[in-house]
Each structure stands twice: as C-alpha cells, then as structure tokens.
C-alpha cells in the first residue's frame, strides 16, 4: 500500500523538484518505508513520477518504485495489492517471462506488458496506478473496479497532474485551491459526496471506479476517461438457491485466503455485525493456526453498542480482542486531525470510530487489516431496498407478491408498512414530484441557512444530485441499484473513509468482498436470492455462511456497525462548535445568521437533531484549512 503522484508539463520549468518533494512529503504516511522519484524528458516536456511505499509483499528493495519493466519500455507507480500475483506470476513464467523479485508490482508490470489492458479483469486486488510507455510516449492511468484506492487528477493547458491525495495535488499545483460550489451545495443540503468525478475543489477530479485514461505526452492530449469494467445487471444465473449459496461460500473463502497473503502482521476490524463477523470467522476457517487480533469500537453505555456480538465472535474464533471506547472529549482532541486526514468533508462521526480502530491496530503492531466493506452493496443489505424490490415485482405484474413483500418486510425492526410505501412511491417518482416528496420529509432544496440566489447566479443546480447510475432494468431494480451503489455512489464514500483513516496510521485495509468475480456472480442472481420474500436482507450470503458464522449472528435482524452517539458528542462540545460556525467564513452562499439560529434550536431540543450539524462543522473546517 502506497502513495503515488505524477506530473507532466510541456515546459520543464513548471515541474520543480521542490514541488514534487513537497508533494511526496504529503504522502509519507501512506508509505513510510521507502520513497522514489524519477524525472524524464518526453518530447518537448518533462514527466515526473513519484512513489512512497508501505512494504507489505516482498519487503526487500526489489519492490522499490517507480519500477521499470525488464526491457525498459514501461515504468510504473502503483498503489495497492494484487492478491493473486502468485498465480499470475506462475502463468507468466510458463510463457517465458522472468522475474527479479517477489513483488506483486513486478507481476503487474509484466502482466501489462504481456496482456495489455486485457490483464485488468484478471487482477484480484485493489489498485490505482499510472504506467508510462516510453515507446508510445503515453501515460495510462487506471483505477480498480470499485475505487478502493484513490486517484485524483487535474488537467490544465500544457500539463497533467495526479496524486493519491488532494493535499499532494495542491503541492504539485503550487497555488491555493478554490471550492466547487456545486459539490458544496450537494454535500451541505443533501449529504451527497464522492458520487461522481467532481471533488470539493474546483478542477480536481476523481478517476472513477473501473475507469482508465490516456495522456499523450508528445501532443499533450488527454483522452476522456473510459471504462475498462462495468457491472452487468441481467439475471444470467440458472442456479438454485442452495447451489448459489455454495458457490458464494467457495468464492468468499477463496477471497479471504488470498487476502491473507502478507509478509507483515495482520488483523481484522470487527464491528459485531454479519459482515465483519464473516471475515473473522472465515480467517479462522482457512487458517486454523493463525493468530487473529480484532479491533472493535465499543459505544459503552449506549443503545448503539455491539459489544455483546463482538465478544461472541471473539470467543468463537479464539481471537485476541482489542476494544476502543471513546467519549466526546476524545472526539474534541482528535477532531482536527480526523478532518485533515479525510481531506474532504464526509458524512458522520462514525468515521471517527473507524479512525480510532486503525490507530489502535497500528499501536499493536498490525500493518494489514481485513474489513467488511462492500457486502451491503453487493448482497442487498441495509434496509433491503424495499422501494426497488416492490417496483421490480410491479414491473413483473406480481401485484399480490408486492403487497405481501411489503407486509413481511415491515415486520423487521426499525421498519413499517408506511415507510416501505413511501420508499416505493419515491422509486416511481422523478423530477418535481421527487423534490416534493423530499421536501415533505424535511429535506428541502433551499433551506433557510442557504442563499439560493447567489448559488443560482453561479450556475449551481439546486436539487438532489442526478445519479450517475447504471441503466435500470425492469424487474431488476434492486440489482440495478446495487450496481450503481458499487461504482457510482454510496460505497465510494465508505471506501474513501477507510482508505484515508487506515493510511493515516500506515495500515493497509483490505476488503475481501470486493472482487470482480464475486460481485459479477452476485449481480447475476435472482433478486429474491438477495432479499427474500420475507424481507430478509443478504439472504443468500447468510445461507452461504451457515456453519462458518454462529447462527445467532446470522439470524440478527438489526444493523449497527461502528455507530457513534453523535448527538451527545456534538452537544458536549456545542460551545466550541458554535464558535467555529460564528467565524466569518466569507462564503456568500451561506446565511450564517440562520445557520446559527437553527444550530441553537437543535442544541436546545426545539428542533430535531440532524446530521446537517456535522456537515456544517465538517465543511467549515475543510474550507478554513484548504481554501
């Protein structure tokens, strides 16, 4: 796991060694074990490639980057891990390819040289890399199918810049960034972020999951990003439910087996839910003698505590547990570093619990953790996507089944028939009707603390952000939503949280659920395998884990995760927070007087608590530090 950066400019003086060194320093936490940089003239311009290394596979200097191919044609900077590198290496050796190290980076560059772009779907891993072709004089930039690893870039006349984090990109550019007002609105009003190529900084773009772009270094032309992989939503599987569960079980166990490959100590983040419990129990099954260290946030004395479930799994596998208990005073002490670590605004204080888990893992000498991200988006977790499922049944004219599903779904904790109907109606509405429903639910497009006229004059669109969704297929509405969540919204933010928090403490976070073969298999199944007629979420996955995970955990009907008592925490530091929100932010689109009025009402209990408070705090801090 590493940090990567690069800069190409048509005029050599615009890429200074000092800027590159400053940018590498911003990535040092991502790779504290080694550092490398090269400068190379290409036509009338200069290309710089930089890398900071966190050594996980082959700890020797053989894994140093930037790395050249054996014939010198290619040079690569790579952030990530290729878990099936041994199998690919064996296949390449059989075709006459020689190797000088045990590094997965060398396998990646050899695979690219041998198979080209066709190697990408064969990679089981997470990656963001740039590969320079000296013969073709091109720079190809690639991000993994799910966006597990970050890749930011900026295209300017006569230059192209990229980096693993925005702070490094700032150093390469050498000037103060300006905020993207559209993304500010989307986040502050609708809580939307990391859902498209635009970042919170104007002109700073994300290379989206499963995409690649090519820079032609002789001419300076930068091609538009294009997909190398996209999810399909057609129901192609002919397997019965039991057969599907068995295939899923085998795929999952194989994923865990591959993800345990490491030359440094590893552990697991354990929340106590089905997803992280499955990871820990599978670790024990595939490696019976492996010492397992688990790290769990415990919301002590709170209704959102999962300690009883954490204890059950730790006893079941004989793990060495580490529990993290936090209070509002801890949040106050770490808040500045947490917000700086994330680099951009984010959703809630639950990210602080995750931050503390990785910090504790590092304190106990753990360099790699296995984590459960991606299950909800792959097997219909969360609340089971009732609106989409009802619409699928209506598409198929199964009106009675739709009504019965609504009734069964509503029997689960935290659900109701009214809520299910509301979600179904929302699914079948769009445009003004959808905006009206959101307004009725207390989510207006123009709250009082906003100055909408200023935003409209700047060209900002004042409605819920349009979704860059995968085309929805009738009768497959849940699967279509999952495909969109996996690559265009939802999961991207969660993966960003995990990447920044883990890398802050030089820990590599691995997510065994997110492999192309397993996701493609899940998306090919009938929807009722994912969410049952009785409203059970993750139905086929629960069945696949029988005999691996204790039934008492698999039969859980609630979902908590690393949830924090956010209202109590913010209320405890309300005076400090109010001071931050009172500062003159010089943001003309914010009506700070109304914002403070609403904040006081929320803290006094005369207005319901909302996560918008956290978004105010987060954006204000980010804007002060970054712009």
Cα(502)–Cα(342) distance, integer angstroms: 10
Q: Which residue has better confidence, 11 or 580?
A: 580
Q: Are residues 47 and 157 in the same domain?
A: yes
> CB burial class (10 A; 0-12, 13-18, 19+) of residue 351?
buried
Q: Which of 93-97, 118-122, 523-527, 569-573 has the lowest mean pLDDT?
A: 569-573
Using CA atoms, how far residue 252 sits from 248, 426, 514, 548, in Å, is 6, 34, 10, 11
Q: Are residues 393 and 305 in the same domain?
A: no
Predicted confidence (pLDDT) per residue in 226-278, tens digit: 999 999 999 999 999 999 999 999 999 999 999 999 988 999 999 999 999 99
Predicted confidence (pLDDT) per residue in 374-390, tens digit: 999 999 999 899 999 99
Q: pLDDT value at position 561?
A: 54
Predicted confidence (pLDDT) per residue in 439-467, tens digit: 566 668 899 999 999 999 999 999 887 65
Mean pLDDT of all residues in the chain? 92
Q: Are residues 114 and 223 in the same domain?
A: yes
Q: Are residues 462 and 441 in the same domain?
A: yes
In a domain, 267, yes or no: yes
> CB burial class (10 A; 0-12, 13-18, 19+) of residue 430?
exposed
> Tokens 């040289």 appear where?
113
pLDDT at residue 299 greater than cutoff 90:
no
Q: What is the mean pLDDT of residues 579-584?
A: 90
Instruction: Name the token pair of 174.
Output: 């050498």
Instruction: Name the token pair of 108.
Output: 């990646």
Q: pLDDT value at position 85?
A: 95
In a domain, 9, yes or no: yes
43 — pLDDT class (breaks 50, 70, 90) = confident
Q: pLDDT value at position 566?
A: 79
Q: Are residues 171 and 76 in the same domain?
A: yes
In a domain, 477, yes or no: yes
255-269: burial string, b at 16+ Cβ within 10 Å, e else: bbbbbbbbeeebbbb
In a domain, 275, yes or no: yes
Q: pLDDT value at position 56?
A: 81
Q: pLDDT value at position 439?
A: 57
Q: pLDDT value at position 61?
A: 83
Q: Are residues 34 and 108 in the same domain?
A: yes
Q: What is the mean pLDDT of residues 149-156?
A: 96
Q: Which range of residues forms the domain containing residue 550?
A: 241-378+488-554
Q: Are residues 320 and 390 in the same domain?
A: no
Q: pLDDT value at position 431?
A: 55
327 — pLDDT class (breaks 50, 70, 90) = confident
Q: Are residues 534 and 612 in the same domain?
A: no
Q: Are residues 39 and 185 in the same domain?
A: yes
Q: pLDDT value at position 112?
A: 98
pLDDT at residue 468 greater than cutoff 80:
no
Q: Which residue has better confidence, 53 or 253?
A: 253
The model carries a pTM of 0.94
Predicted confidence (pLDDT) per residue in 329-365, tens digit: 898 899 899 999 999 999 888 899 999 999 999 999 9
Number of domains comprising the chain: 4
Q: pLDDT value at position 490?
A: 85
pLDDT at residue 471 greater than cutoff 90:
no
Q: Are residues 35 and 105 in the same domain?
A: yes
> Tokens 């918008």 appear where?
612
Q: pLDDT value at position 15?
A: 83
Instruction: Name the token pair of 375.
Output: 């299950």
Q: pLDDT value at position 366?
A: 96
Using CA atoms, how far residue 53 sits from 56, 97, 176, 403, in Å, is 9, 25, 27, 55
Q: What is the mean pLDDT of residues 29-41?
A: 92
* Residue after which a domain boundary falls, among 508, 525, 554: 554
Q: Are residues 27 and 140 in the same domain?
A: yes
Q: pLDDT value at position 424?
A: 87
Cα(484)–Cα(377) distance, integer angstroms: 9
Residue 173 has phi, psi (to 5 degrees) of -75, -40
Instruction: Give the CATH number of the domain where residue 165 resides.
Output: 3.60.20.10
562 — pLDDT class (breaks 50, 70, 90) = low
Cα(573)–Cα(603) distance, integer angstroms: 10
* Residue after which a domain boundary falls, among 462, 484, 506: 484
Q: What is the mean pLDDT of residues 542-571?
A: 84
Q: What is the mean pLDDT of residues 582-610?
A: 93
Q: pLDDT value at position 549?
A: 97
In a domain, 236, yes or no: no
In a domain, 560, yes or no: no
Q: For helices 166-173 and 17-26, give the axis angle rounded to 10 degrees.
A: 170
In a domain, 81, yes or no: yes
Nearby residues of 16 by Cβ (< 8 Å), 6 or more positions away: none
62 — pLDDT class (breaks 50, 70, 90) = confident
* Residue after which a domain boundary falls, among 554, 578, 601: 554
Q: Are residues 191 and 333 in the same domain?
A: no
Distance of CA 188 to the CA centre of its chain: 20
Predicted confidence (pLDDT) per residue in 392-424, tens digit: 999 999 999 999 999 999 999 889 999 999 888
pLDDT at residue 301 greater than cutoff 70:
no
Instruction: Give the CATH number of the domain where residue 314 resides.
Output: 3.40.50.620
DSSP for 211-267 reads EEEEEETTTTEEPPPEES------------HHHHHHHHHHHHHHHHHHHT--SS-EE
Q: Which residue has better confidence, 585 or 607?
A: 607
In a domain, 352, yes or no: yes
Q: Which of 48-52, 131-135, 216-220 has the lowest mean pLDDT?
A: 216-220
pLDDT at residue 158 greater than cutoff 80:
yes
Predicted confidence (pLDDT) per residue in 65-81, tens digit: 999 999 999 999 999 99
Q: pLDDT value at position 54?
A: 85
Q: What is the mean pLDDT of residues 292-301?
A: 88
Q: What is the mean pLDDT of residues 31-57?
A: 90
Q: What is the mean pLDDT of residues 26-35?
A: 93
Q: pLDDT value at position 291?
A: 95
Q: pLDDT value at position 415?
A: 92
Using CA atoms, how far residue 625 sits from 122, 163, 496, 622, in Å, is 41, 19, 19, 5
DSSP for 148-191 reads -S--EEEEETTEEEEESSHHHHHHHHTS---B-HHHHHHHHHH-
């Amino acid at each position: 796991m590493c940090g990567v950066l690069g800069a190409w400019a048509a005029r050599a003086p615009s890429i200074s060694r000092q800027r590159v060194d400053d940018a590498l320093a911003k990535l040092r936490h991502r790779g504290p074990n080694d550092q490398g940089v090269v400068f190379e003239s290409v036509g009338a311009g200069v290309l710089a490639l930089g890398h900071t290394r966190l050594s996980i596979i082959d700890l020797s200097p053989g894994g140093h980057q930037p790395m050249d191919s054996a014939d010198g044609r290619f040079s690569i900077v790579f952030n990530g891990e290729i878990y099936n590198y041994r199998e690919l290496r064996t296949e390449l050796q059989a075709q006459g390819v020689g190797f000088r190290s045990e590094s997965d980076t060398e396998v990646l560059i050899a695979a690219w040289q041998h198979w080209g772009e066709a190697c990408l779907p064969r990679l089981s891993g997470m990656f963001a890399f740039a590969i320079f072709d000296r013969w073709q004089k091109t720079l190809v930039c690639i991000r993994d199918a799910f966006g597990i690893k970050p890749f930011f870039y900026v295209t300017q006349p006569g230059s192209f810049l990229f980096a693993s984090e925005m702070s490094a990109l700032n150093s390469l550019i050498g000037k103060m960034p300006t905020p993207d007002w559209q993304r500010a609105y989307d986040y502050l009003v609708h809580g939307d972020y990391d859902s498209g190529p635009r970042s919170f900084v104007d002109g700073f773009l994300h290379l989206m999951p499963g995409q690649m772009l090519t820079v032609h270094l002789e001419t300076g032309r930068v091609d538009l990003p294009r997909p190398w992989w996209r999810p399909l939503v057609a129901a192609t599987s002919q397997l019965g439910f039991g057969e599907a569960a068995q295939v899923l079980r085998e795929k999952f166990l194989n994923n865990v087996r591959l993800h345990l490959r490491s030359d440094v100590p590893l552990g697991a983040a354990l929340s106590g839910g089905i997803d992280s419990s499955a990871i820990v129990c599978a670790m024990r099954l595939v490696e019976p003698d492996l010492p397992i260290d688990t790290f769990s946030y415990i919301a002590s004395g709170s209704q959102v505590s999962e300690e009883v479930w954490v204890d059950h799994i730790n006893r079941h596998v004989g793990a060495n547990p580490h529990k993290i208990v936090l209070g509002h005073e801890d949040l106050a002490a770490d808040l500045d570093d947490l917000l700086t670590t994330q680099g951009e605004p984010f959703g809630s204080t639950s990210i602080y619990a995750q931050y503390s888990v990785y910090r504790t893992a590092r304190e106990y000498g753990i360099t790699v953790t296995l984590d459960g991200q991606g299950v909800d988006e792959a097997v219909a977790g969360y609340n089971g996507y009732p609106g989409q499922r009802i619409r699928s049944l209506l598409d198929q004219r199964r009106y009675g089944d739709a009504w019965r599903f609504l009734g069964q779904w509503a029997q689960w904790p935290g659900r109701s028939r009214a809520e299910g109907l509301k979600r179904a109606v929302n699914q079948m509405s769009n445009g003004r009707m959808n905006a009206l429903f959101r307004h009725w639910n207390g989510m207006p497009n123009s709250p009082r603390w906003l100055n909408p006229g200023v935003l409209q004059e700047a060209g900002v669109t004042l409605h819920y952000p349009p979704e860059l969704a995968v085309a929805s297929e009738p009768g497959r509405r849940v699967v279509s939503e999952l495909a969109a969540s996996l690559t265009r919204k939802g999961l991207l933010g969660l993966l960003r949280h995990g990447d920044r928090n883990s890398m802050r403490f030089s820990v590599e976070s691995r997510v065994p659920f997110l492999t192309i073969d397993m996701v493609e298999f899940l998306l090919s199944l009938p929807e009722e395998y994912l969410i049952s007629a009785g409203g059970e979420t993750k139905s086929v996955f629960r069945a696949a884990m029988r005999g691996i995970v204790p039934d008492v955990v698999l039969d859980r009907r609630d979902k908590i995760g690393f949830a924090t008592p956010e209202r109590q925490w913010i209320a405890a530091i309300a005076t400090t927070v109010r001071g931050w929100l009172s500062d003159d932010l010089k943001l003309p689109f914010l009506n700070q007087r109304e914002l403070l009025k609403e904040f006081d009402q929320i803290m006094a209990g005369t207005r319901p608590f909302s996560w918008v408070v956290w978004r105010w705090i987060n954006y204000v801090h980010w804007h002060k530090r970054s712009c």
